[in-house]
Amino acid sequence: MQYIDLRSDTVTKPTPEMREAMAEAEVGDDVYGDDPTVNRLQELASEMMGKEAALFVPSGTMGNLLALLVHCQRGDEVIVGNQSHIYLNEAGGMSALGGIQACPISNQSDGTLALEDILAYIRTVDVHHPITRLVCLENTQNICGGVPLKPVYTRQVAELAHQNGLLLHIDGARIFNSAVAQNISVKDLVGPADSVMFCLSKGLVAPVGSMLVGTHKFIARARHIRKMLGGGMRQVGVIAAAGIISLEKMVNRLEEDHLRARKLANGLRQVKGLAVDKDSPYTNMVYLNLADDLTLNSKQVSEKMRELGVLVDAENARRFRLVTHYWIDDVAVERTVSAFEEALN
Ligand SMILES: Cc1ncc(COP(=O)(O)O)c(C=O)c1O
């Protein structure tokens, strides 16, 4: 069966154009810095993000981990959202591999960390305290609804961090969704940050890979630690070739995914038994709950949906997140709404 897969934008398979570029990619040993396709991807990424340098990494998780390991020493503390991917879903890498301690503070419903909370949790200099070194923001903030953080807010956080001797890292797994949704340049969103990770393998459709950007010095150190972690990838131009197409051709079309997410949400609002979050979607993620009076739980509903040819991921016993992407067209949106109707009624 050909499934409609709304579990995540990570499920996107490469386009025929990407597969062709991958087959024909000019390659070299990237550990020597000799892969021309990787070098081109890194130049393109640093230029688009307005940063000095970029590094191709196998995953967003590794990109975030490298940033943490470069910015922090063992025993340092990092202020992160308690709903952030870095805190919840990266297998505790910062503490296991870096000896870094997370200081989780509440994400507000709009995905932000309150400035007063950040300030309150910066440690004072005291022999008893860890040193607060870094603040991490997530843009778009996934669990809060795929919500885009605004450039003015990011600037305020960066100013606060820098005034207090801290650095700012952005987990921008979906930073282009944020920029497109706000109709602004991605440079405006990440300008004040010291480092940014963003993913090619999500809404930008590449099969593998993420980018880490920052200063030359930061990227040189990240390259060293990437090697230490076993992430030196040799003739990796084979996959970087798809990433170049992501950056050149897949950014502007993200608006289509946002439009379809809105259509999907509007359709699902008509389905008895579902309660779509009030302001959802902000970008390509639709969040919804099963209505209180529905006896089915989300596992049972997702099993029924699978039988009807639609894959959806349950967030918990009552909640779903549906993600639109390149391979979800208007027909898929309509079929999803009808499948929910059939599964619930
Ligand atoms: C917000 C966010 N950051 C980081 C990541 C990690 O990316 P990867 O799955 O490539 O490790 C994800 C993955 O879904 C994510 O949603």
pLDDT digits (tens, 9 = 90+) for 29-64: 999 999 999 999 999 999 999 999 999 999 999 999
Q: For the residues 267-280, what does the mean pLDDT come to?
A: 97
Going by the DSSP 8-state scheme, the letter that residue 11 receives in this structure is G
Long-range contacts of 215-218 (CB under 8 A, 24+ apart): 215/51, 215/52, 215/53, 216/52, 216/53, 218/53, 218/70, 218/71, 218/194
pLDDT value of position 246:
98
Going by the DSSP 8-state scheme, the letter that residue 252 receives in this structure is T
- 17 to 20, 71, 152, 205: CA distances (angstroms): 5, 37, 37, 11
- d(CA 87, CA 325) in angstroms, rounded, equals 25
pLDDT band at 126 (very low <50, low <70, confident <90, very high): very high
Q: What percent of the chain has pLDDT over 70?
A: 100
- Asked whether the predicted pLDDT for residue 222 surpasses 90, the reply is yes
Give the containing element (helix H, strand E) for 320. Answer: strand 319-323
pLDDT value of position 108:
98
199 ligand 1 Cβ < 6 A? yes
pLDDT tens per residue, range 9-24: 999 999 999 999 999 9
Q: What percent of the chain has pLDDT over 90?
A: 99
Q: Are 279 and 145 in contact (CB under 8 A)?
A: yes
pLDDT value of position 60:
98
- d(CA 81, CA 170) in angstroms, rounded, equals 12
- Alpha helix locations (H) across the chain? 16-24, 36-49, 60-71, 85-88, 93-98, 115-121, 151-163, 175-182, 186-190, 216-228, 237-249, 254-269, 298-307, 330-344
85 Cα: distance to centroid of ligand 1 (angstroms) = 7
pLDDT band at 161 (very low <50, low <70, confident <90, very high): very high
Joined together, the tokens standing for residue 35 give: 């892969």
90 Cα: distance to centroid of ligand 1 (angstroms) = 8
77 ligand 1 Cβ < 6 A? no
173 ligand 1 Cβ < 6 A? yes
- Asked whether the predicted pLDDT for residue 1 surpasses 90, the reply is no
pLDDT value of position 45:
98
Closest residue to atom 6 of ligand 1, CA basis: 60
- d(CA 85, CA 65) in angstroms, rounded, equals 11
pLDDT value of position 231:
97
Q: For the residues 168-177, what does the mean pLDDT come to?
A: 98
- Alpha helix locations (H) across 6-150? 16-24, 36-49, 60-71, 85-88, 93-98, 115-121
pLDDT value of position 279:
96
- Asked whether the predicted pLDDT for residue 330 surpasses 90, the reply is yes
194 ligand 1 Cβ < 6 A? no
Q: For the residues 270-292, what does the mean pLDDT come to?
A: 97
Backbone angles phi, psi at 100, to 5 degrees: -100, 140
pLDDT value of position 331:
98
15 ligand 1 Cβ < 6 A? no
199 Cα: distance to centroid of ligand 1 (angstroms) = 7
- d(CA 132, CA 316) in angstroms, rounded, equals 33
Radius of gyration of the chain (CA): 21
What atom of ligand 1 comes closest to residue 10's alpha carbon? 14
The candidate with the shortest Cα–Cα distance to 169, out of 158, 181, 180, 153, is: 158
Only one residue has tokens 């940033």, namely 67
pLDDT value of position 345:
83
pLDDT tens per residue, range 55-114: 999 999 999 999 999 999 999 999 999 999 999 999 999 999 999 999 999 999 999 999
Closest residue to atom 14 of ligand 1, CA basis: 10
pLDDT value of position 52:
98
Q: Are 144 and 188 in contact (CB under 8 A)?
A: no
Joined together, the tokens standing for residue 223 give: 């390259």
pLDDT value of position 106:
98
pLDDT value of position 263:
98
What atom of ligand 1 comes closest to residue 61's alpha carbon? 11
Please give the mean pLDDT across all residues of the chain: 98
- Asked whether the predicted pLDDT for residue 162 surpasses 90, the reply is yes
142 ligand 1 Cβ < 6 A? yes
